[in-house]
């Protein structure tokens, strides 16, 4: 699937693994976003990576499951930011009028500040989403979180019994005991995706709240490129799926 145009809205779990060279070569930048398509209505969420530094070329993407909360937050930012700019543009020529009619000027200022605060709050990403991806590490599908994968992708997730575990929860618990944090997080997020969401989220929190993990995350948060020094090397995506990774990847026009 090749799209000529890509309008994105919102970002989630954004990780800049590598800044690359001065010209952008070697840059590794991944995040979830809403694909707005050619219309004004928010469509489906996607995870994008291999983002080109020019308007030529395309990035890679996979589909994600629908998330009303993520979509609502992205739309709220879009509405508040645009409204803030409209108020600013309309009021600029009327500064003298607003000074004379100070009550209206104060009201306009309050509205502008309120919209700015709403836009700022709506643009902030949840640290937990980024921490999960720092533990998962970069892989063939960017740094996407298995718990967010589209149901069509989840059909190709490996049976945990093929990994010598009764369930992904059991796999995660064993990996936690062995302090294999990356494997543990992968199993926990796969548990959320295809088995038991509540158990998977509890395991995720257990991993993130581990003192050893927290210390390493403080380092990796500042310098994502050092991720493999703090955690075990990222397991290959093929370890967790039964298909060719390219099956679910499509090209999307530069945003």
**Residue 75 half-sphere exposure toward CB, CA atoms < 13 A:** 13
The rounded distance, in Å, linking the Cα atoms of 194 and 248 is 17
- Residue 146: give the domain boundaries: 127-248
Helix (H) or strand (E) run with residue 131 in it: helix 127-136
According to the model, what pLDDT value does residue 186 have? 97
The rounded distance, in Å, linking the Cα atoms of 230 and 60 is 28
The number of residues making up the chain comes to 255
Q: Is-contact 84 115, C-beta < 8 A?
A: yes
The rounded distance, in Å, linking the Cα atoms of 205 and 88 is 43
Tell whether 81 and 137 lie within a shared domain.
no
According to the model, what pLDDT value does residue 98 have? 56
With respect to residue 253, please indicate whether it lies within any of the assigned structural domains.
no
Domain boundary among 46, 67, 88: 67
Tell whether 144 and 243 lie within a shared domain.
yes
Tell whether 50 and 153 lie within a shared domain.
no
Tell whether 234 and 172 lie within a shared domain.
yes
**Residues 89-104: pLDDT tens digits?**
766 666 655 555 656 6
Q: Looking at the 3D structure of the chain, how many domains does it have? A: 3
With respect to residue 131, please indicate whether it lies within any of the assigned structural domains.
yes
**Residues 212-230: pLDDT tens digits?**
999 999 999 888 888 888 8
* Dihedral Cα 101, 103, 107, 113, nearest 10 deg: 90
According to the model, what pLDDT value does residue 41 have? 44
On the 0-12 / 13-18 / 19+ scale of CB atoms within 10 A, 123 is middle
Residue whose C-alpha is closest to residue 156's, from 237, 251, 35: 237
Tell whether 54 and 13 lie within a shared domain.
yes
The secondary structure of 189-243 as a DSSP string is HHHHHHT-HHHHHHHHHHHHT-HHHHHHHHHHHH-GGGHHHHSPPPPPGGGTBSS
Tell whether 52 and 143 lie within a shared domain.
no
CB count within 10 Å of CB 148 equals 23
Tell whether 157 and 236 lie within a shared domain.
yes
Tell whether 103 and 200 lie within a shared domain.
no
Tell whether 243 and 134 lie within a shared domain.
yes
Tell whether 152 and 217 lie within a shared domain.
yes
With respect to residue 1, please indicate whether it lies within any of the assigned structural domains.
no
With respect to residue 213, please indicate whether it lies within any of the assigned structural domains.
yes
Domain boundary among 67, 97, 113: 67
pTM as predicted: 0.81
Residue whose C-alpha is closest to residue 182's, from 133, 226, 129, 126: 133
Regions of the chain with pLDDT less than 70: 1-6, 19-27, 37-42, 52-57, 90-109, 115, 122-123, 253-255
């Amino acid at each position: 699937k090749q799209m000529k145009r890509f309008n994105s809205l919102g970002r989630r779990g954004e990780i800049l693994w590598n800044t690359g060279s001065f010209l952008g070569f070697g840059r590794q930048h991944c995040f979830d976003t809403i694909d707005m398509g050619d219309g004004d209505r928010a469509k489906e969420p996607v995870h994008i990576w291999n983002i080109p530094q020019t308007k030529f070329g395309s990035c890679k993407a996979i589909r994600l499951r629908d998330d009303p909360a993520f979509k609502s937050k992205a739309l709220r930012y879009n509405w508040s930011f645009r409204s803030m700019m409209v108020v600013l543009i309309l009021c600029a020529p009327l500064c003298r009028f607003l000074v004379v009619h100070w009550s209206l000027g104060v009201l306009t200022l309050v509205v502008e500040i309120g919209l700015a605060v709403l836009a700022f709050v709506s643009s902030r990403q949840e640290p937990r989403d980024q921490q999960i991806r720092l533990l998962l590490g970069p892989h063939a599908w960017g740094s996407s979180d298995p718990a967010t994968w589209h149901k069509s992708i989840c059909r190709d997730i490996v049976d945990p019994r093929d990994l010598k575990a009764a369930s992904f929860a059991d796999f995660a618990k064993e990996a936690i005991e062995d302090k294999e944090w990356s494997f543990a997080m992968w199993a926990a997020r796969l548990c959320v995706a295809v088995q038991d969401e509540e158990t998977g989220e509890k395991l995720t929190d257990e991993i993130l709240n581990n003192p050893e993990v927290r210390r390493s995350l403080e380092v990796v948060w500042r310098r994502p490129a050092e991720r493999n020094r703090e955690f075990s090397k990222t397991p290959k995506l093929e370890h967790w799926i039964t298909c060719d990774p390219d099956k679910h990847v499509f090209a999307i026009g530069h945003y």
